[in-house]
Amino acid sequence: MKVVTFIPARGGSKGLKKKNLKILAGKPLIAWPIQHALKSKYVDDVVVTTDDKDIAKVSKEFGANIPFLRPESISGDLATTEDTLKHALEEYEKLYSKVDLCVFLTCTDIFRKPEWIDQAIEIMINDNELESVFSGHKTHKNFWQKNENGKWERLKDWMATYSSRQVRRYIVREDTGLCCVSKSYIWREGRRIGNNVDVLENSDFLTAVDIHTKKDLKIAELLLNMRLAGDL
């Protein structure tokens, strides 16, 4: 079984220019997911898909494989992650061999625990019916949405009943950027995750941190330094 991690990192980020090369706790942002993936005992290759030569150079320095540069057609603001992943897988398989499991990590979700990658892969290996396993944050909070008439309504009817957190149902926020493992045919079909899934649940509030602005970066660095020091 061949397992490959793919990390998208385009050069044209708008909210924070050259975001993926910004230094976070002593390392470029792109280095964090690369090093997390390299710790896996199952991952055979770690690929960064980028359109930027500087990102490619730094990624190689931290141990990633850059077998191709992403074309301009899927590097703009309107390009989807699914387009990027499909292209990366197809180009990789042209150069190497067929991939069985694809691991998706992002640079902006840095509060993953590296062991989540192997845990998700093992869940996939042990249940052949599964199409995807991804990280998800548990929450007991109520959520509301506007219906087609513009009226606010609860996301789920059971949220109208308030009970103690210990016995209350919960929902999970999908965080595929932290860790997502899918069978390769899912990506070939232009999807990120399949319909038959399992969720690697966590209750770590830091997983909500997503880096897209200068302020996000400052907050992430403060929190990451506290975590590295054992204070969080």
pTM, to two decimals: 0.94
Residue 128 corresponds to which tokens in the numbers above? 């052949």
CATH of region 3-136+174-228: 3.90.550.10
Q: What is the pLDDT of residues 169-213, one digit of tens each?
A: 999 999 999 999 999 999 999 999 999 999 999 999 999 999 999
Alpha helices in 62-142 (DSSP H): 81-95, 115-126
pLDDT surpassing 80 at residue 74 = yes
Terminal-to-terminal C-alpha distance of the chain: 37
Residue 4 corresponds to which tokens in the numbers above? 């490959």
Q: Please give the mean pLDDT across all residues of the chain.
A: 95
Strand partners, 173: 137
- The β-bridge relationship of strands 101-104 and 45-49 is unpaired
CB atoms within 10 A of CB 150: 6
pLDDT surpassing 80 at residue 14 = no
Determine the Cα–Cα distance for residues 143 and 219; give it in Å rounded to an integer.
Answer: 25
